[in-house]
Structure 1
Amino acid sequence: MQLHIEDETSSLKAVILGTAESCGPTPTPEQAYDPKSLEHILAGTYPLEADMVKEMDAFAEVFAKHGVKVYRPTVLKDCNQIFSRDIAFVIEDRIFHSNILPDREREFEAIQHVLDQIDPLKIIRPPEEVHIEGGDVMPWNNYIFVGTYTGEDYPDYITARTNKQAVEFLKEQFPNKTVKSFELRKSNTNAKDNALHLDCCFQPVGKDKAILHKNGFLVEEEYQWLVDYFGQENIFEITKDEMYQMFSNVFSISPEVVVSEKNFTRLNNWLREQGFIVEEIPYAEIAKQEGLLRCSTMPLIRS
């Protein structure tokens, strides 16, 4: 397999879509990786496996409709494998093995059947001190946008997933690209004040538009850089509540086709006004785990 990813929106040919099968019992509060999951665990509203399987099946059907080759991870017993974006990401013709929370290492092993089709020299494992997850990494033509957190209290945040060593690592790997990092707002306890990954508060759509949430960024100048780059008229600014619902975590099948959650009425209307085809699917149960459509996918080939 010849990997090829240069951006977030070119025509998708092959993708890994996570699985909700055998995702295990509802976690205990101590096992929660993020404040939104914790909120639903404590409220007794944590999503059921059957509902999440249905939502992912709907996503798979959209891919089939658009002729995309879909790979699924091997199902591991009692293991949450929904968010395939966390475990790896592709830039150009290389796949990078994320250094993620240690007890999620098995999830990477579950895509071995895909890795076996890739030149081993193109499978990169960053050094141990490089913390990085795919939700924080966005190739965008000559840029690589990276969400990070570099505060002294980085170790205190289970929600801080990509460190400054990761930014330097990507600069070394891609000397011909501009690696542009953005400091994200983190909270272990309040989901509305936590941008878990860059794709929780920002995402490009089409060729020149973007979904953005100002409060997800710690440094106003960095937020403003994106506004200036895309142009104010091309930006859909989402509210704090819309960020909480994961409005920016949609997924592009092509520059014209965006998969979105069916309840995102304000966003979906805007996308259609801009000329996009919007494929609406139910994904509100999976959203309870602070991840949505982009988080569930790991694109391998875009043309």
Structure 2
Amino acid sequence: MGEIRVESEFAPLRTVVLARSEVCIPASAREDPDMRFLPHGTVEFTGDLREADPRRQAAWEAEREAFAAVLRRHGVRILRPRPLTRAEKSAAGNRGYANFFARDPFFTVGEHVIEGSMRFRHRRGEVLPMREVFREHVYPANGSYVAVPAPEVAAPDDPSLGPGPFLEGGDVLVLGRHVFVGASGLASNTLGADWLRKYLAPHGCTVEQVRLHETILHLDCALGLVRDGLMVVCEEAFPDGVPEVLHGWDRVDVSLADAGRLATNGLPLGPDVYVTDPEFGRIGEQLERRGVTVEYVDFSVSRSLGGAFRCSTQPLRRTA
């Protein structure tokens, strides 16, 4: 594998894990208020999408392949998690299962690969298909490989899903040795941020927890760091304001409604190249005026499921 290192959200992307397209939404999710982050504010289907809507499943897979083609064209090495096994799907029971957004079940900070701890029950086994990637590419490489403690068992009627700790990669943004962790009440929580702070402190990192609007799932659904000094941001999503370390940055502003449609969830391939959906051409135009090359991929199916380009990837190497 060679070097594992993520220096920032916008350092040149060298090696990335690109998600599979597998999800089974439990029937209970249809009435779950925690699903308010979805673009339509509600679950559009339950069960395995491959069975519920094969045409939509095929379109979803085609989106991911179109995205992969862009990554390869820019010289990015792509790794893929394996599909879920029959045993893993069976063990999930009526909780549902997921293998669809590589960003969240693990994340990379500097030379540290960290398994997360997922809040939604149907996503708690999502890291399992990633472990083949870890065995082949992380174990032989430099750096550390650790895991957040498993979440405590919550009572069936506990809407909080227990004390966690919860820590998901979509909430973790890396800016050198400054690491942001989002907290909206839907994903990562304070206990998860405290664990990360304790783990990274000896390595010289500062972890800053950032409070988010209650309809925002993850921090990367409200903030995208495009290059040093330039961001795409939804001001409304930050009850306490945008983090102070980002004050003075040039910015492309988006509304809370557009943030809910994943407007900030593009992916920098480096400080001068950015991938987004043609739905957000206005954002692309503003970035192009600032000297950024913008690549467009239609990601409408992925976005309808709650994630876009950053959600679909997890870097193992981002270095200048």
Q: 2:139 is matched with which residue: 119, 143, 149?
A: 119
| Partner in structure 1 of residue 178 of structure 2 | 143
Provide the C-alpha distance between the structure 2 equivalents of 1:5 and 1:301, rounded to a whole number of angstroms: 5
In angstroms, what is the RMSD of aligned CA positions? 2.4
**Which stretches of structure 1, 4 residues or more, deviate above 3 A after TM superposition?**
26-29, 77-80
C-alpha contact 1:27 1:41 (8 A) present in aligned 2: no
| Partner in structure 1 of residue 302 of structure 2 | 286
* Alpha-carbon shift at residue 179 of structure 1 (Å): 1.5
Provide the C-alpha distance between the structure 1 equivalents of 2:246 and 2:253, rounded to a whole number of angstroms: 10
Letter in 1 for 2:13: L
| Partner in structure 2 of residue 210 of structure 1 | 231
* Alpha-carbon shift at residue 224 of structure 1 (Å): 6.2
Letter in 1 for 2:44: I
Does residue 73 in structure 1 map to residue 81 in structure 2? yes
SS at match of 1:86: coil
Identity in percent: 24
* Alpha-carbon shift at residue 292 of structure 1 (Å): 0.8
Q: Mind listing any 5+ residue stretches in structure 2 that lack a counterpart?
A: 46-51, 90-96, 151-163
C-alpha contact 2:9 2:225 (8 A) present in aligned 1: yes
Provide the C-alpha distance between the structure 2 equivalents of 1:119 and 1:57, rounded to a whole number of angstroms: 27
With over 3 angstroms needed to count, the CA separation of the structure-2 counterparts of 1:224 and 1:100, relative to structure 1, is closer
* Alpha-carbon shift at residue 57 of structure 1 (Å): 0.6
| Partner in structure 2 of residue 253 of structure 1 | 269
Letter in 1 for 2:230: K
SS at match of 2:300: coil
| Partner in structure 2 of residue 177 of structure 1 | 205
| Partner in structure 1 of residue 291 of structure 2 | 275
| Partner in structure 2 of residue 41 of structure 1 | 44
With over 3 angstroms needed to count, the CA separation of the structure-2 counterparts of 1:226 and 1:201, relative to structure 1, is farther
Provide the C-alpha distance between the structure 1 equivalents of 2:248 and 2:194, rounded to a whole number of angstroms: 22
Provide the C-alpha distance between the structure 2 equivalents of 1:181 and 1:108, rounded to a whole number of angstroms: 23
Does residue 166 in structure 1 map to residue 192 in structure 2? yes
| Partner in structure 1 of residue 115 of structure 2 | 97
Letter in 1 for 2:218: H
With over 3 angstroms needed to count, the CA separation of the structure-2 counterparts of 1:166 and 1:106, relative to structure 1, is closer
Letter in 2 for 1:137: V
C-alpha contact 2:223 2:232 (8 A) present in aligned 1: yes
* Alpha-carbon shift at residue 39 of structure 1 (Å): 2.4
Q: Mind listing any 5+ residue stretches in structure 1 that lack a counterpart?
A: 187-193
Letter in 1 for 2:127: F
* Alpha-carbon shift at residue 9 of structure 1 (Å): 0.6
| Partner in structure 2 of residue 52 of structure 1 | 60
TM-score (norm 2): 0.80
| Partner in structure 2 of residue 228 of structure 1 | 247
With over 3 angstroms needed to count, the CA separation of the structure-2 counterparts of 1:113 and 1:197, relative to structure 1, is same
SS at match of 1:123: strand
C-alpha contact 1:88 1:98 (8 A) present in aligned 2: yes
**Higher deviation after alignment, 260-269 or 70-79:** 70-79
C-alpha contact 1:55 1:281 (8 A) present in aligned 2: yes
**Higher deviation after alignment, 168-177 or 264-273:** 168-177
Partner deviation per Cα, 1:255-278 (whole Å, 9 max, x = no partner): 111011012111010011111111
Provide the C-alpha distance between the structure 2 equivalents of 1:38 and 1:270, rounded to a whole number of angstroms: 28
* Alpha-carbon shift at residue 40 of structure 1 (Å): 5.0
Provide the C-alpha distance between the structure 2 equivalents of 1:75 and 1:97, rounded to a whole number of angstroms: 18
Provide the C-alpha distance between the structure 1 equivalents of 2:71 and 2:306, rounded to a whole number of angstroms: 22
SS at match of 2:103: helix
Does residue 265 in structure 1 map to residue 281 in structure 2? yes
With over 3 angstroms needed to count, the CA separation of the structure-2 counterparts of 1:298 and 1:23, relative to structure 1, is same
Aligned length, in residue pairs: 279
C-alpha contact 1:227 1:235 (8 A) present in aligned 2: no
TM-score (norm 1): 0.84
